[in-house]
Amino acid sequence: MPDPVILGTATALPPICVTQSMAKEYAGRRFHGHISRLDRLLEVFDHAEIDTRYVCEPPEWWETAKGFGDKNAAYIHWATELGKRAAQGALEKAGVEASEVDAVLFISSTGLSTPSIDARLMLGLGLRPDVRRMPLWGLGCAGGAMGLARARDLLLGNPDGTVLVIAVELCSLTFMFDDYSIQNLIGLALFGDGAAAVVLRGEGAGPRIRAARSMTWPELTGAAGWTILDEGMQVVFGRELPEITRQNAGADIRDFLESNGTSPEKIDHFVFHPGGVKVIEAYQDALDLKGGELNRTQKIMREIGNASSPTVLFVLENLLAEGFQPGQQALVHALGPGFSSENLLLES
């Protein structure tokens, strides 16, 4: 049975570029008088190793409180727009017509839509009426990697099939105007918006997905996710995330690689979701990485911050653009709510 292949990837960003200094200035104004030790807490903006991020709405939009309805209307508009742009780019790079797509996996966790966004994209992309649609919600930062894994599952049983994976997040819309918690402040320092798409086929020329594995630690369900409030989605991420990465994710990655006859030392490229500086440091500790193996992940984090599910696909796009050489191996990895881990082994 042939390994499914990646034919093309593309990404899309919203129009508003926000520098980290702009985000810090806004946070200083917004949280002033509402939180103790604010000057010290604002240092997280300086240490996040993020230069720029992109958001869907202009600065004036953030100067007044918005209800869930307003935020979700913006989500539907921008998720449709960015998803379409990313999908069209991936199809063009793959040399695939939209009418050739047999299944669409749409991944998102920062808004709600019924019909789902993939249905709204069908006419704009020119997909067939009988395309299989699979919207996946609630996967958080693991979503992009998990979308690739589920596409692989579909194609293993249908080598002639073509799957389009689209991941879109509007993390900026989850900022809570009247929430003066430290978590809301940290979210403002880290999160951005973006979309990515990947075209895969059951067989052909291109990077092969040789293996994939999901892992969930249900005892850690409180480590990350959303709390749904009247104002919208309130971010949840525990202080234990770096330690979870160091212990659970590190062991999971090693076991996954060993079960496929390889090891971290034999991996040529690490395509990791950038969960933040401390999480990246935890990966380096857990896997004994010392030679700049996560430079690509750090580069994407500097440029777009943490855009949740599509971010790992931004890293993948960067790898494929710069050259994934024949005979090389790449590890795609992301963590997300559940608490869960997604690993894929790619070969060129």
Q: pLDDT tens digits, residue range 163-175? A: 999 999 999 999 9
Confidence bin at 310 (pLDDT 50/70/90):
very high
Confidence bin at 103 (pLDDT 50/70/90):
very high
The answer to whether 275 and 306 have CB atoms below 8 angstroms apart is: yes
- Identical fold, 5-201 and 208-347: yes
Confidence (pLDDT) at 306: 96
> Is the pLDDT reported for residue 237 higher than 80?
no
Confidence (pLDDT) at 280: 93
Confidence (pLDDT) at 271: 97
Q: How far apart are CA 283 and CA 276, in angstroms?
A: 11
The more confident residue out of 233 and 109 is 109
> Is the pLDDT reported for residue 1 higher than 80?
no
Q: 34 CB contacts (<8 Å, ≥6 apart)? A: 180
Among residues 17, 56, 141, 171, which one is catalytic?
141
> Is the pLDDT reported for residue 235 higher than 90?
no
Q: pLDDT exceeding 70 applies to what percent of the chain?
A: 100
The more confident residue out of 314 and 1 is 314
Confidence (pLDDT) at 127: 98
Confidence (pLDDT) at 164: 98
Q: CATH says 208-347 is which class?
A: alpha beta
Q: What is the CATH number of domain 5-201?
A: 3.40.47.10
Confidence (pLDDT) at 291: 77
pTM score of the predicted model: 0.96
The answer to whether 274 and 258 have CB atoms below 8 angstroms apart is: no
> Is the pLDDT reported for residue 54 higher than 80?
yes
Out of 40-44, 230-234, 278-282, least confident range: 230-234
Confidence (pLDDT) at 94: 97
Confidence bin at 122 (pLDDT 50/70/90):
very high
141 included as an active-site residue = yes
Q: What is the pLDDT of residues 189-231, one digit of tens each?
A: 999 999 999 999 998 889 999 999 999 999 988 888 878 888 8
The count of C-alpha atoms lying within 13 angstroms of the C-alpha of 345, restricted to the half-sphere facing its C-beta, is 21
Confidence (pLDDT) at 171: 96
Q: How far apart are CA 309 and CA 75, in angstroms?
A: 15
Ramachandran bin of 18, using left for φ above 0, alpha for ψ from -120 to 50, beta for the remaining angles: beta
DSSP single-letter state for residue 327: T
DSSP single-letter state for residue 312: H
Which helix (H) or strand (E) segment holds residue 47: the answer is helix 43-47
* Residues 266-288, mean pLDDT to the nearest whole number: 93
SS3 of residue 301 by DSSP: helix
Confidence (pLDDT) at 323: 81
Confidence (pLDDT) at 230: 81
* Residues 302-330, mean pLDDT to the nearest whole number: 96
Average pLDDT over all residues of the chain: 94
Break the chain into its structural domains and give their ranges: 5-201, 208-347
Confidence (pLDDT) at 142: 96
